[in-house]
Amino acid sequence: MNKQTIAIDTPFVRPDVYGSLSVPLYTNVSFEFADAAQMADVFTGRKKGPDYARVENPTVNNLEHRVQRLSGAAHVSAFNSGMAAISNTLLAVSAQGKNIVTSRHLFGNTLSLITTTLRNFGVGAKLCDLTDLDEVESAVDDDSCCIYLEIVTNPQLEVADLQALSAIARKRNIPLIADSTVIPFTETSLHELGVDIEVFSSTKYLSGGGTSLGGLVLDYGTFPDFNQRIKGDLLFNIGAYMNPYSAYQQTLGLETLNVRYQRQASNALHIARGLRGIKGIERVTYIGLEDNPFYELARRQFGPTSGAMVTIDLASKEACFKFINSLNLVHRATNLFDNRTLAIHPASTIFGNFTEQQLADMDVHDTTIRLSVGLEDPEDILADIRQALGQ
């Protein structure tokens, strides 16, 4: 079956007693058992079934099951935010004395998780340029526990070569972990490109319309202990399992993901092309533009679409603020891949607490505006941008 059909017509993990067509929402905490023996079997994992909603819930299970069927992952685990998915994944692979090989081009909280939170527990960070394979090769050492990256970095829009990084990780027998938030997991198979563990914020494309927070971990089964650590240890002890109401909304989101995404990606390309002709915009960055340096690699890795994140550079920070203040239709908000088009000035917001030196190291410039393109008519968005630039 094709992915669009799987997304809609995958049967529930267990048939609904009333025959509900849309996924039933279970908000309860505990589940009753027929007898003591069944109770013992479920609690000790000899039999499948929910016992307590901190670690298992039928609505969340249905979402995990559909994502598993769509991705071909061996195990899927749903968390209460993208950051919960990322932090639990890194907790599962790291330990005191180990180091994470990654880049400075990371989502702000992920960078801070690695360089601050985990550092306090004795986990090191080796920050390198992941597009420079020699640098990565020499950064990896006997204490490295993974190579971690974002498939398209935010807001730099840089793309690394996954197959080449996977070859380096394989040599050391460590997992390649990729945050795929910026391109929906249904568009490509990162596992075929050598990714061992995929994480993404389902707050973004999956929820659609920015309805709910969530994060998913797709474990392709190449590191057998990983699932045991996630499901047998961290899920219980950290307690960051996805909320059932979010799982309900995100299952509905998953059903329309492909239709929404195709439209958002084509809108983004249309807008990126249109932005080029507008006076006052010094640079337009979008990996779907043919002269973007990552265009070929992105096509090879992610297929014909290029996501819905576009950045523009204006003359100065003041010009950016003035532009943002003059928008009438595009919303001043963070989040990515909402149904609405959103604009933000990353340097003063998401990255607002980093020093100027850190911002320079991360290539986050105060002349950059990030646009997350929505489902509106793209001509209306271009018209709003033109008027905000005084044209």
Ligand X SMILES: *Cc1c(COP(=O)(O)O)cnc(C)c1O
Where on the chain is the footprint of ligand X (CB under 6 A)? 81-83, 107, 110, 150, 154, 179, 181, 201, 203-204, 213, 215, 336
Q: Quick count: other Cβ atoms within 10 Å of Cβ 280?
A: 15
Contact of 365 with 257, CB cutoff 8 Å: no
Shortest spacing between CB 151 and ligand X, in angstroms: 9
- Toward ligand X, which CB reaches closer, 10 or 246? 246
Q: 200: closest CA among 82, 103, 89?
A: 82
Select 169 or 183, whichever has its Cβ closest to ligand X.
183
CB of 81 to ligand X, least distance (A): 3
- Following CA atoms 320, 326, 329, 332 in sequence, which dihedral angle do they give, to the nearest 10 degrees? 50
Return left, alpha or beta for 222; rule: phi > 0 is left, psi -120 to 50 is alpha, else beta: alpha
Nearest to ligand X by Cβ — which residue? 82
Q: Which runs of consecutive H residues, i.e. helices, occur in the chain?
A: 3-9, 36-43, 58-71, 82-93, 108-112, 133-139, 162-172, 225-229, 235-238, 244-275, 295-302, 317-326, 356-362, 378-388
Nearer to ligand X, 93 or 388 (CB): 93
Minimum distance from residue 297 beta carbon to ligand X (Å): 18
Which of residues 10 and 81 has its CB atom nearest to ligand X in the complex?
81
Q: What is the edge-to-edge ordering of all strands in the sheet holding 215-219?
A: 75-79, 215-219, 197-201, 176-179, 144-150, 99-102, 124-127
Beta carbon of residue 271, minimum distance to ligand X (angstroms, whole number)? 19
Nearer to ligand X, 100 or 281 (CB): 100
Q: Give least dist CB 78 to ligand X, A.
A: 12
> In the complex, what is the shortest distance from the CB of residue 206 to ligand X, in angstroms, rounded to a whole number?
10
Residue placing its CB nearer to ligand X in the complex, 205 or 220: 205
| Least distance between ligand X and beta carbon 39 (Å) | 35
Count CB atoms within 10 A of the CB of residue 270. Answer: 16
For residues 58 and 79, what is the distance between their CA atoms, to the nearest angstrom? 14
The tokens describing 18, both together, are: 């009333």
Nearer to ligand X, 204 or 231 (CB): 204
